[in-house]
Amino acid sequence: MDPEKLIISGRNRLQGTVKIDGAKNSALSIMAATLLTKDVCILRNVPRLTDVDTMAAVIRKLGIKVEWRGENTLYIDSDDFNNYEAPYELVKMMRGSILVMGPLLARLKKAKISLPGGCAIGARPVDFHLKGFEALGAQVEVEKGYIEAKVDKLKGDDIYLDFPSLGATENIMMAACLAESITTIENAAKDPEVVELGHFLNKMGAKVEGLGTDLIRIEGVKELHGIDYTIIPDRIEAGTYMIAAAITGGDVLIEKADPLLLKPLIVKLEEAGVRIELEKSLIKS
């Protein structure tokens, strides 16, 4: 069978209006972070994508109540659950499922997660996550394609990441929020999604500092509370439309985009001669 293809007939000028959805990568980590509280969390502007549905299925499997209320609003209730295992049939569909491991260790003191790639030999993409959990006091074993971790009590520590991994930074940061004492993550990822997750955690009552820098400091707290939160616009989606409009000589109005998240792209497009107008929450390119 031939691989799937996209056939694009060029030389057409793009014009019109497009509305940007919520950021998928932010939604996934924030959905995992809702496991850190017994309270209800309401997430708005959540994109209706396959990965989001997969993450919803993962946390439902753990015993979490997840409901769509309206087109883009998720209602998540993590009050009472005791299942700590995320099975292979779900995790294999999306590597981001590993993000539930930090919250599970923080809430239930144990986690069993399928390796996203199964029984991989050699270095694994999740090794940075596991080293971080071990630094916080967890005992971690990898056997038969599963990661099993348990801990009596998470305790803060100084953690250096050999690579500024987005997922490892987020996973360790979530676990550290309910750990004793202070955790520092050096060479942390600085992506907007990490900053957004930190803002979400802080609004839940966490104490996270240094967001947007390569040194993040987390002071553990006893508990977090639920909140009503709106996911940021997807910078990748917005940037794709901006570039498409630019290369076709188009005129596109992009609604619900955040210029601050798109500043590097805006600067480069303007240097290339593209005219961009900013109108409050709109970007016209």
21 or 123, higher pLDDT = 21
Q: Look at residue 191 and tell me if it is in a domain.
A: yes
Q: Which of 188, 203, 230 is the last residue of a domain?
A: 230
* Total residue count of the chain as it appears in this document: 285
**Helix, strand, coil % in the chain, rounded to nearest 5:** 35, 25, 40
Q: Do residues 250 and 223 share a domain?
A: no
CA–CA dist 229, 205 (Å, integer): 13
Residue-wise pLDDT tens digits, 149-170: 999 999 999 999 999 999 999 9
Number of domains in the chain: 2
Stretch 14-42: mean pLDDT: 96
**What's at 141, amino acid-wise?**
E
- Residues 6 or more apart in contact with residue 146 via CB below 8 angstroms: 88, 112, 113, 114, 115
41 sits in which H/E element: strand 40-44
Q: Do residues 163 and 247 share a domain?
A: no
The tokens for 212 are 């947007």
Instruction: Let me know: does 36 contact 218? Beta carbons within 8 Å.
Output: no
The set of catalytic residues is 119
Q: Do residues 59 and 166 share a domain?
A: yes
Which residues constitute the domain of residue 262? Answer: 15-20+233-284
Residue-wise pLDDT tens digits, 186-196: 999 999 999 99
Q: Give pTM, 2 decimals.
A: 0.91
CA–CA dist 202, 196 (Å, integer): 10
- Residues 6 or more apart in contact with residue 234 via CB below 8 angstroms: 20, 21, 22, 23, 24, 47
Q: Mean pLDDT, the chain, as a whole number?
A: 92
Residue-wise pLDDT tens digits, 196-212: 999 999 999 999 999 99
